[in-house]
Amino acid sequence: MPQTPDPTVYPLDHLALRGERDAPALVLKDRTLSHEALNARVGTLAKWLKSRVGEPGGRVATWLPKTELACLMPLAAVRAGLVHVPINPLLKRAQAAHILADSGAALLISNKGRLDTLEEGDAPCRAIEEAAVWAEAEAEGGALPPSDAEPDSLAAILYTSGSTGRPKGVMLSQANLWLGAVSVAYYLRIAPQDRVLAVLPLAFDYGQNQLLSTWYAGGSVVPLDYLTPRDVVKAVARHGITTIAAVPPLWLQLVELEWPQDAAQSLKRLTNSGGALTPSLVRALRTKFPVADLYAMYGLTEAFRSTYLDPALVDEHPTSIGSAIPFAEVLVINDMGEEAQAEEEGELVHAGPLAAQGYWQDAVRTAERFRPAPAFSKLGGMAVWSGDRVKRDAQGLLHFVGRRDAMIKTSGNRVSPQEVEEAAVATGIVAEAVALGLPDPQLGQAIHLVARAMLGADKDGLVPALTRALPNFMVPRHVHWREIMPVSPNGKLDRVALAAELAEETQA
């Protein structure tokens, strides 16, 4: 392995050219694509896309489970000169409609079940089923060759929730995604013989990187949409999986299951993101998978990934998020704007080429999060000011302290409190609402909704109504009804007081 990874940036679709021609690249339910076949299928799909969305830089959205097309689209879109907008398949019609409208997508590719949920005006663009795409593309024939896209050209818009308002689109360039793949493949030491089980949603930054980093290393990906954790165990055993990326709630479920010895022994690396590991979970993972390296990581969509913890340090420092990954400079800035000293709390600031290009058509929120790096930064340029509070210990390892905003992190998903509150009020049952995230051993944080009901409303109908309107991970686990909602001195609903009140109730 070289001393540092290669920083040279190529067009993203060149990842389809990295592996040995006959080696497996994508293991689907009914067949396996070699790296040669992967490149050919990317070219076929790219030609069809370019013929349907002629405008360079046009946005094409996918709202799919982990099908062949969903896996190939990150490469095919850029080969066609387009921008990919993946929509999390767990989202429902209202959230999908917002993303389609906000991104200005020219095309939506989905399946019949999801398309049938859309109402008039939800998809202000052409919508087509995946099966029809392949039928047309194969009938027309031909393929586009590898592209010569510029490193700073836009490759994807990934939508992520903010602490207020609706999801915002993070703009990622060819260089962001290429170097993210290089960095992760390098520090995870992924090799051509590795098989990576892709369980994270492909609309997430790290979910997408499961594909990109594996193909950079010449390995193969096994995409899995699982219904139960037992499905993950079966897939590991069936395919000889060596690598899994997951979030703490899934790890908690997986360590509670009985594993065939061969399956547990086949795993060489486990990677965690989307929430902190606990000492007890680290011990359980180390016991269940004794030969696997365990990587704790921290990241945010705006900078893809920022830190990782060397597996050799995880037993001694189980709660640390480690130090900067290759190509990232991670600074801790105190409240005076200076570099924080050891054990001094400050804001995590990420500089370097993994920092995204900002938020799609949102100059105000871009200016809030993307600001020049401090003068003492080695890499300089535009940096991501995360809003997350961390400390660096005497050994240089980072430790997460808390989030400055009100973002709820549940089951590895970032949830906007305002989006949950708006959905509650939209039911007609709720007059006022505050959504909060409180610690939960299984979920990381559980969503609690504090609400005042409309006069005469059927309170029992709230959760069923929210279940119809929201993805499952956004539905509150607990609803607390109040006759009067507390108000802060500035006239707003007092979130701080409610959070303290609920913390006392849940601890009682």
- Full 3-state SS string of 425-447: HHCCCEEEEEEEEEEECCCEEEE
CA distances from 422 to 429, 432, 434 (A): 12, 9, 10
Count Cβ atoms below 10 Å from residue 313 Cβ, excluding itself: 15
Homologous superfamily of the 408-507 domain (CATH) = ANL, C-terminal domain (3.30.300.30)
What pTM was computed for the model?
0.87
Q: Residue 118 — φ and ψ, nearest 5°?
A: -70, 140
Question: Do residues 67 and 27 touch, judged by C-beta distance below 8 A?
Answer: no
Nearest to 381 by CA among 329, 324, 323, 308: 329
Token couple for 369: 């999060």
For 161-198, the DSSP string reads --SSSS-EEEEEEHHHHHHHHHHHHHHHT--TT-EEEE
Question: Do residues 324 and 300 touch, judged by C-beta distance below 8 A?
Answer: no
pLDDT 10s per residue in the chain (508 long)? 556 899 999 999 999 999 999 999 999 999 999 999 999 999 999 999 999 998 999 999 999 999 999 999 999 999 999 999 999 998 899 999 999 999 999 999 999 999 999 999 898 999 999 999 999 999 999 999 999 999 999 999 999 865 445 789 999 999 999 999 999 999 999 999 999 999 999 999 999 999 999 999 999 999 999 999 999 999 999 999 999 999 888 898 899 899 999 999 999 999 998 777 888 889 999 999 999 999 999 998 999 889 999 999 999 999 899 999 999 999 999 999 999 999 999 999 999 999 999 999 999 999 999 999 999 999 999 999 999 889 999 999 999 887 666 778 899 888 878 789 889 989 999 988 999 999 998 999 999 999 999 989 999 999 999 999 999 999 999 999 999 888 765 557 788 889 889 988 877 6
The residue written with tokens 């949603």 in the block is: 201
CA 256/CA 154 separation, integer angstroms? 42
Query: How are the residues of the chain apportioned to helix, strand and coil, as percentages rounded to the nearest 5?
Result: 35, 25, 40
